[in-house]
A and B are shown apart, each in its own frame.
Chain A
Amino acid sequence: MNQKKALSRRKFLGNAAAIGALGALGVGAVVSSCSRRPTYVGPTFPDQAPDGQRLRAGVIGCGGRGTGAAINFINSGPNLEIAALGDVFEHRLDRCREQLKERVGVEVPDANCFTGFDAYQRVIDSDVDYIILCEPPYFRPRSFEAAIQARKHVFLEKPVAVDPVGLRQVMAAGRMAESAGLYVAAGTQRRHQRDYVKTFEMVKNGAIGDLVSANCYWNQSKLWHVNRQEGWTDMEAMIRDWVNWTWLSGDHIVEQHVHNIDVVNWFFEKHPVKALGFGGRHRRPTGDQYDFFSVDFVFDDNRHMHSMCRQIDGCTNNVSELIFGTEGYTNAQNRIWDYNGNVIWEYEYPLGDDGEPMNSVAISPYDQTHINLVTAIRTGNYLNETQNVAESNMCAIMGRVSAYTGREVTWDEMMNSAMRLGPENLEMGPVDIPAVPPTPGTAPA
């Protein structure tokens, strides 16, 4: 009897594995056995998610990105609903409700709108299927874990954590999602952007030969800051000004530049194993972050990626990637050159009303991410991007720690690091974190 039971469990596990394998195949890698170099065919993204069982989404973090992501979700297909909203601040929640009503005609009842530090849990508990996680990154690990524990599908905005402890929590929750059949798409939307995906296909099929090195950039003007006002506690002032505090944002190398690092990791199909970087602060009015970083990342096979990011007005701006191969190079997005300066391939953008090619893909990558996630859920074609985004996020943290300390930092050190940022208690009150940026050569790792 017992033996029989054991056998049937085995069989069940076997079937589950087989289904998993089929799912993996469906993702897009089809191998043709005829040609010498196997031809990789990238995924074809749908313009709309198919109809299916109604999906009720809860938005956690209702700032600009949360509101935007909620609209992207509503745009992605039929039978989708925003059912609950949560934010630490009431004023952010109100603005989000207005926007949703104005732009997509969605009204969320009062009973499903939550504020305060426990809003995330109350959104998760309010009979939803799909969680949109857009709080400041510091909160992501705990909210992601809670969402997975409650068996929700998740749109996981980047970055996913500000420190190694949180990052490992995200990695583990991602594995749990996988074993529980929960779907996760990440906010590294270039992987859902059709021109990038096509360029990846070209490069994977040898269009620039073997990959040699890469550069990536996120150099922009000053982002934004919020001056402290009378009556605000430390905590309130920090969260309102979160893109300037490392414990909340991870610093901009993590918060923004993770996008570009992720593209290089994607094309190289691995992540760097060490980093040596530097950075500093010249112009930032608030917080404890740097306003520029320059990091030399090294892969395990000694190939290098140079990464650069800056948030300073009046300088040359550039947000892009460059990937060099033995036979040419690409901007990873839409163009491939040979080393004689000739463009040897260009992505064909769709034609606009005037009959000329548009300068963007047919479907916004932000919408496309939700289309792909909803499609995956409704077709059973398994999707979970946690590990990819977590690895790129860890590289960005590795770069930040190297710049802050002035020392070379390895992947293994990060994977075994006990670094945990932020205050002990989450409550509106004093926070003992001074607005002092780290000094390289002296900061503890």
Chain B
Amino acid sequence: MIKRESFRRGRRFIILVPVVLTTLFLFLGDRIVRYTSTNEFCNACHVHPHAEESWKKSTHYDNKSGIYVQCAECHLPPPGDINYLLAKAKHGSKDVYGWIFKDPESINWEAKRTVEKAVDFVYDESCTKCHQNLFPMQLSQDGQQAHLYYNQNQDDLSCLNCHLHVGHYSEIAQKGIEFGTADDTDREVFTEPAVVETFGDFTEQIPGTPIAFDMVAIPGGTFTMGSPPDEPYRNDDEGPQVEVQISPFLMGRIEVSWEEFIAFYESTAAEGRQDNIYATNLGEVDAITGPTPPWGLPDQGWGMGSRPAITMTWHAAETYTKWLSAMTGKSYRLPTEAEWEYAARGGTTGPYFFEGDPRKFSSDRFLNRIFGPDTAVINSYVIYSENSQSRTQPPGTVWPNPFGLENMLGNVYEFCSDWYAPDAYSQYQAGQVVVDPTGPGSGTERVIRGGSFTSDAGDVRVAARSHTRHQAWQMTDPQIPKSEWWFTDTREVGFRVVMDWDPDN
């Protein structure tokens, strides 16, 4: 009897324990989940110095309504969302790892604020949980069009594409209204363009502006375009290799700088945002119609001056060369792809114009990821992912190539005049020397070359080819039609001019 009683009690106990434990676990679990999502908890570890400060300056803290939005309200999906706990576990473990093993100084916080990175830790579901009304009465016309566009393209767009700095204040993003007004007061204004009589390096002057830039004479010659099949990181579009003969020409020593591009913008800018597409296409205008005002800040707030101009369309770059030709009485244009590679190689035949193995330089290899890539040589010739600090750099930070051209590889992709085709090289007759080729007769995207400040070492090889991506690069342009002058969604593209050399002239 007693035995049975104690057995019963024991059994009851056995049943009770898991119930109590489960309840406790659930209760504590809930408490833990809640506690670890408070601002205090976040800020206890989040050592990046400006997160809290910039949040407090942002409209998600400092606004008329007095409402403020907590860290976890943007940086996690809404509680109850199917991915909530998963996302919390993912970010939590990443944070713990970073806290223990990483030096906050070594983290590129600036890069984390780019839209490409920010979409990984800001959730659209969370934005729209509060911002349920995308069409408030006060919404501007542009806003209405942009939100209609968002509704139609929700799979490709994030709220952040247009509202990147709303959660953490950015001084850079607040500026951007004064684009295109250079401070030219104490600078000599050129009245005449440079006079060039013999084939050689010279400094061009743009009349009516204080802008001058260096042109480098590139002697004619023959070279092998493309890369051999065994080159590391080679893509199929880099072959088959072709023997190419190039006539002499001159090329800009540096990528077209902001101050050069602004001079063009100031003297040609179209009024308002209505592009005069038909007039320019038909060539009906004597005066060149230039870019419309850009949206946002084309220099990304990195500074203008001698930094390469970026985010203009191929059409804008091409129009620039026409304007420059008209201003200087010379024949400027974009380089052909063959001229570009010939100039970039400077007589060399390897993957780069300097010594080195892409396999050692690339960050994209397993062993390099663990032990770190070899950056010693490439570092001093190329602005690329490992040394760019996620932005373009002004000229003079790396060594030039054998022709004296700077930043041919890295910094920004450069437009070429050719249409892009993956099989462009196989169109040339094998075994023949091709003279001054200009690429396919038609296409939809243009060739860009040289890689950019975000490229891996494997993609800044001298033979590596790439192309424009019009649709993706204008995804968030809210205008209809989209601008023919500016890309809204790339920061990696600029250009360099070349000048024809006519020995008879």
Q: List chain A positions with a Cβ less than 8 A from chain B.
A: 2-3, 5-6, 9-10, 13, 16-17, 148-149, 164-165, 168-169, 171-172, 175-176, 178-180, 412, 415-418
Contact = CB atoms under 8 A, between A and B. Distances in A.
Contacts of B367: none
A16 B129 CA distance: 13
B481 A416 contact: yes
A321 to B, nearest CB: 27
Given A168-B145, A416-B480, A9 B137 contact: no
Interface string B22-36: 000000000000000
Contacts of A175: 134-135, 144, 147-148
Given A149-B137, A179-B133, A417-B480, A172 B69 contact: no
Interface in B120-163: 130, 132-137, 139, 141, 144-145, 147-149, 152
Contacts of B67: 2, 5-6, 9
Contacts of B443: none
Contact of A171 (B69, B136, B139, B148): B148
B293 to A, nearest CB: 17
Contacts of B65: 5
A179 B135 contact: yes
Nearest to B274: A418
B34 to A, nearest CB: 13
A10 B130 contact: yes
Contacts of A168: 144-145, 148, 480
A115 to B, nearest CB: 28
Interface in B369-384: none
Residue among A175, A178, A417 having the largest count of chain B Cβ atoms under 10 Å? A175
Contact of B68 (A2, A17, A169): A2
Interface in B22-68: 65-68
Contacts of A165: 480
Across the A-B interface, the 10 shortest Cβ-Cβ residue pairs: A175-B135, A172-B144, A179-B133, A176-B135, A6-B67, A418-B481, A418-B480, A179-B135, A2-B68, A416-B480
Contacts of B149: 415
B136 A179 contact: yes
Contacts of A2: 66-68
Nearest to B143: A172
15 contacts: A2-B66, A5-B67, A6-B67, A6-B69, A9-B67, A10-B130, A165-B480, A169-B144, A171-B148, A172-B135, A176-B135, A179-B135, A415-B149, A415-B152, A417-B481
Given A415-B148, A416-B480, 16 more contacts: A2-B68, A5-B66, A16-B132, A149-B137, A165-B480, A168-B148, A172-B135, A172-B145, A172-B147, A175-B134, A176-B136, A179-B133, A179-B137, A412-B152, A416-B482, A417-B481
Contact of B132 (A13, A412, A417, A418): A13
Contacts of A416: 480-482
A13 B133 CA distance: 10
Contacts of B66: 2, 5
Nearest to B152: A415
Contacts of A172: 135, 139, 144-145, 147-148
A165 B147 CA distance: 15
A13 B130 contact: yes
Nearest to A180: B137
A157 B139 CA distance: 25
Interface string B262-297: 000000000000000000000000000000000000
Contacts of A17: 132
B192 to A, nearest CB: 42
Contacts of B141: 169
A284 to B, nearest CB: 29
Nearest to B481: A418
Nearest to A165: B480
A107 B331 CA distance: 76
A393 to B, nearest CB: 15
Contacts of A148: 137
A49 to B, nearest CB: 27
In this complex, the member of B68, B144, B149, B482 whose beta carbon has the largest number of chain A beta carbons within 10 angstroms is: B144
Contacts of B136: 176, 179
Residue in B65, B480, B481 with the greatest tally of chain A CB atoms within 10 Å? B480
A143 B310 CA distance: 42
Contacts of B132: 13, 16-17
A412 B136 CA distance: 25
Contact of A176 (B70, B139, B145, B482): B139
B245 to A, nearest CB: 42
Contacts of B69: 6
Given A2-B67, A172-B148, A178 B480 contact: no
Max count, chain B CB within 10 A of own CB: residue among A5, A10, A148, A416: A416
Contacts of B481: 416-418
A381 to B, nearest CB: 21
Nearest to A172: B144
B175 to A, nearest CB: 29
A357 B212 CA distance: 90
A416 B148 CA distance: 10
A416 B480 CA distance: 6
Contacts of A171: 148
Contacts of A412: 152
Nearest to A179: B133
Contacts of B480: 164-165, 168, 416-418
A392 B149 CA distance: 18
A175 B141 CA distance: 13
A6 B63 CA distance: 13
Contacts of B148: 168, 171-172, 175, 415
A169 B143 CA distance: 11
A418 B274 CA distance: 10
A178 B133 CA distance: 9
A9 B137 CA distance: 19
Contacts of B135: 172, 175-176, 178-179
